[in-house]
Amino acid sequence: MNDIFAALLLIGILIVAAKWIRRRVSVLQRLFLPSSIIGGTLALLLGPQVIGRFFNDEHWMAQGFWSEGVLETWSALPGLLISVVFAALFLGKPLPNIQAIWKKAGPMVAHGQALAWGQYVVGLLLAVFLIVPIWNTSPLAGALIEIGFEGGHGTAAGLGETFRELGFADGADMALGLATIGVVAGVILGTLAINWAVWKGHIEPPNRDPKEDESITEHENREPADKPTFSDRSIEPLSIHLGFVAISIGLGWLILESMVWLERHLLMPLGWPELLSHVPLFPLAMIGGVIVQMLSGRLNYAWMIDRELMNRISGTALDILIVAALGALSLEAIGSNAGPFVLLAIGGIAWNLFGFFVLARWMFPKDWAPNGLANFGQGIGMTVVGLLLVRMSDPHNRSGAMEAFGYKQLLFEPIVGGGLFTAASLPLIYQFGPVPVLIGVTAMMFFWLAFGLWQFRPVGK
């Protein structure tokens, strides 16, 4: 318990130090890197992977500034906290009917789904034809682009135990490395794409306040976390909101355990391979959150759930998760897989650029640039980069891209980008091999491409 307490306190200190560094290093502000990523990088530099390399194994600095117990705690935290992040995803958020969502966000959903499934296609093609034959790497590497780029640091860290169970422990570190590259590349390439689009006349010059961009990554403009959400003085609002998160995670655990039990006792005796026992809890925790939110409306307690406070809980869990995951990152794992890592990074970036410059033009009936930038940002560097690029390209939301992007998540995140298929992709590749999964994801990619082009193609194209 002392190690756990020390590990959490050190993360808090690292986040404060990272915020101080970010305020004083202008290049970090221009890259819009969240303080949590800077703090995690600082934790990595001060740990055994970097500073510890300068001392022999017997020296007291061999572990850097962190004890073995702290590093073990950091390794375990991401797999737990990712369930908190996903459980809070839809809590306190009104759930409109599918028809209303589709009317506002149909093109965004089709384009985003095509990009996500295409990341699997690119990754698995690289794995089947280059990575596995040349480097003898696990075919699970084919899922790393979607997990690292679309899913981000949280998903990559949350799947660490699944990678280890399936015999590819290096995959978690590679996914975290790809997620970091994705955030940096997303901001840099996204900014260049915005300037290109302005130059070409595809979007109006976005006269924005830089402080608005920073607020997206640092959550500075939210309401105070201690704002009362109901008139019961017997309990702190944060406590009851943590209770709703706990109920959501509990429901997700019950769903997962029920599915595992049914698979083992009904399907596996018939020859079905063992899949669900390798699926992590967090996508089911998200389903649990949706159930709690739906019941809150039916039982008239929706007023008790404050979306701003849920954002605070989710954001805090994600910040701690990112710092812990990067602090425990194994550079040896990335170094020993340098060839596949670089190849996957180049392939993922190239596909996302193709998705913006080519596919977005054909799949959005109007305002393709700001809408395409939203999916490009999420596809290469997680949701926060998508929000950032929309705000940069369309600060006054004339295109409606911000609203469409928000609605899109309701039909997107339960499946890919950290959803059910993202979690299931690893056991599916492990059990059936990369080729059958490649066939399946290719079919899904072409379905969404064909549907988007047929349904939303601009007039005259």
Helix, coil or strand: residue 143: helix
| Overall average pLDDT of the 95-118 stretch | 86
Tokens 């050190």 label which residue? 10
Average pLDDT over the chain, rounded to an integer: 85
What single letter denotes the amino acid at residue 50?
V
* Cα 251 to Cα 439: distance, rounded to the nearest angstrom: 33
Sign of the Cα pseudo-torsion (93, 96, 102, 105, in order): negative
Q: Which of 189-193, 245-249, 380-384, 401-405 has the highest mean pLDDT?
A: 245-249
Q: How confident is the model at residue 303 (pLDDT cuts 50, 70, 90)?
A: confident
In terms of pLDDT, which residue wins out, 459 or 136? 136
Taking alpha carbons only, the member of 392, 400, 405 closest to residue 195 is: 392
Q: How confident is the model at residue 270 (pLDDT cuts 50, 70, 90)?
A: confident
Please say whether the beta carbons of 434 and 127 come within 8 A.
yes
> Which range, 144-158, 343-357, 394-408, is most confident?
343-357
Does residue 211 register a pLDDT over 60?
no
- The closest alpha carbon to 401, from 367, 371, 375, belongs to 371
Residues composing the chain: 461
pLDDT at 221: 38
Mean pLDDT of 44-52: 86
Residue 75 pLDDT level (bands cut at 50, 70, 90): confident
Instruction: Decide if pLDDT at 29 tops 80.
Output: no
Report the largest interatomic distance among the alpha carbons of the chain, rounded to a whole angstrom. Answer: 71
d(CA 272, CA 264): 9
Q: How confident is the model at residue 360 (pLDDT cuts 50, 70, 90)?
A: very high
Supply 178's token pair.
């790809």
In percent, how much of the chain has pLDDT > 70?
A: 92
| Res. 218 pLDDT band, cuts 50 70 90 | low
pLDDT for position 234: 60
If you average pLDDT over residues 305-310, what whole number do you get?
Answer: 89
**What is the structure's pLDDT at 232?**
56
In the chain, % of residues over pLDDT 90: 37
Alpha-carbon span 33 to 19, nearest angstrom = 10
Q: Would you state the pLDDT for residue 175?
A: 92
Q: By 3-state DSSP, what share of the chain in percent is helix, strand and coil, each rounded to 5?
A: 75, 0, 25
pLDDT of the residue at 174: 93
Question: What distance in Å separates the CA atoms of residue 40 and residue 46, rounded to the nearest whole number?
Answer: 10
Please check whether residue 157 is in contact with residue 82, taking contact to mean a CB–CB distance below 8 angstroms: yes
Q: Is the pLDDT of residue 455 over 80?
A: yes
